[in-house]
Amino acid sequence: MSRLRYRPRTFAREIVMLVAAAIWWVPFYLIVALSLQDDDAVQHRSLALPITHPQLSNFSDAWSDPTNGMGHGLLSSLIITGGSVVVIVVLASLGAYAIARHAGRLSNGLYVTFVIGIVLPYQLGLIPAFVALRELGLVGTYLGMILLYTGLEMPTAIFLYAGFIRALPRDYEEAALVDGATPLRIFWRVVFPLLAPVTATVAVVTALFVWNDFFAQLVFLGGTANQTLPVAIYGFVGEFSTQWNYVFAGVVLSVLPVLAFFVLTQRKLVKGFTGGIK
């Protein structure tokens, strides 16, 4: 039985990767550690590790706080994130299919317009969006936020879907067309199942953006009953005092769903990105 031998270059590469992984985990470890301390320890001995008396009550207190409760914030984040992902996947996949399969000036112009939208900061459109949603009575509502994020993330989703669809062969679509299937039926029955990798990528990218976004949610949901997790966490930050133990506990609670979602979809995420940039 041959022994596994390490070359010096391989060994050095693994050491560098281990050190990089350890450095990457330091901030997350500190957040978890600080979330287990009381407020006095966080403010005056924030790096006094290890923790001898972990305060697990920080999580329950932050969850059930009457003013900035994380429980309702989690529900609001789930509704807005889930709704945005569903709407974007449906509309972006249909739009990208039309752009990718119908060559012409109009399709190329639309594609370039969406690509330009990727590089523009979304803060440029918040004021017009706020005015429009206010006129429709949708400021502070779940539907208003879903519509807002649909517009903000549509360029990225169109870009990924269009690149992936262009790499797909047309054989199955042509066979279905010969059998008398309509274009819409061809898309849902033939093309869309093939888009599973890039759909996972679009879902993850959209979910991460919507879940972690703070500025737009503060502008549109601040002071309302539908505030999300980032806004609820910000509620523990006061002008004269800040409950840092609740802040860090809230950060941990907000990270766990995203971490679980990413672990479950990481393979399709990478595959979708590699297909979308072709």
Position 2 in a domain: no
Would 14 be classed as within a structural domain? yes
Residue 19 maps to a domain: yes
Q: Are residues 37 and 86 in the same domain?
A: no
Higher per-residue confidence, 265 vs 84: 84
pLDDT in tens, 25-51: 888 888 888 888 877 766 665 555 566
1 within a domain of the structure (yes/no): no
Asked if residue 3 belongs to a domain, the reply is no
> Structure pTM?
0.83
Q: Are residues 160 and 197 in the same domain?
A: yes
Q: Do 187 and 259 share a domain, yes or no?
A: yes
- The CATH number linked to 231 is 1.10.3720.10
Domain count, the chain: 2
Which domain range does residue 175 map to?
Answer: 67-276
114 within some domain: yes
What is the maximum alpha-carbon separation in the chain?
Answer: 75
Helix axes 8-35, 244-276, angle to 10 degrees: 140
Q: Are residues 43 and 106 in the same domain?
A: no
Residues 100 and 25 in one domain: no
Tokens 């924030």 locate to 46
Domain check: are 166 and 105 in the same one?
Answer: yes
Hey, what amino acid is at 252? V
Model confidence pLDDT, tens digit, residues 184-232: 898 998 999 999 889 988 998 899 899 999 999 999 998 888 889 999 8
Residues 98 and 26 in one domain: no
Compute φ and ψ for 228, nearest 5 degrees: -90, -175
User: Are 167 and 227 members of one domain?
Assistant: yes
Q: How far apart are CA 195 and CA 272, in angstroms?
A: 8
- pLDDT tens readout for residues 81-113: 999 999 999 999 999 999 988 878 888 888 899
157 and 204 within one domain: yes
Same domain, 191 and 231: yes
Q: Is the domain of 168 the same as that of 237? A: yes
Residue 61 — very low, low, confident or very high, per pLDDT cuts 50/70/90? confident
One domain for residues 37 and 128: no
Q: What is the 3-state secondary structure (H, E, C) of the chain?
A: CCCCCCCHHHHHHHHHHHHHHHHHHHHHHHHHHHHCCCHHHHHHCCCCCCCCCCCCHHHHHHHCCCCCCHHHHHHHHHHHHHHHHHHHHHHHHHHHHHHHHCCCHHHHHHHHHHHHHHHCCHHHHHHHHHHHHHHCCCCCCHHHHHHHHHHHHHHHHHHHHHHHHHCCCCHHHHHHHHCCCCHHHHHHHHHHHHCHHHHHHHHHHHHHHHHHCCHHHHHHHCCCCCCCHHHHHHCCECCCCECHHHHHHHHHHHHHHHHHHHHHHHHHHHHHHHHHCC
- Could you tell me the two tokens for 250? 């809230």
Report the pLDDT value the prediction gives residue 220, as an integer from 0 to 100: 93
In a domain, 49, yes or no: yes
Q: Is residue 20 part of a domain?
A: yes
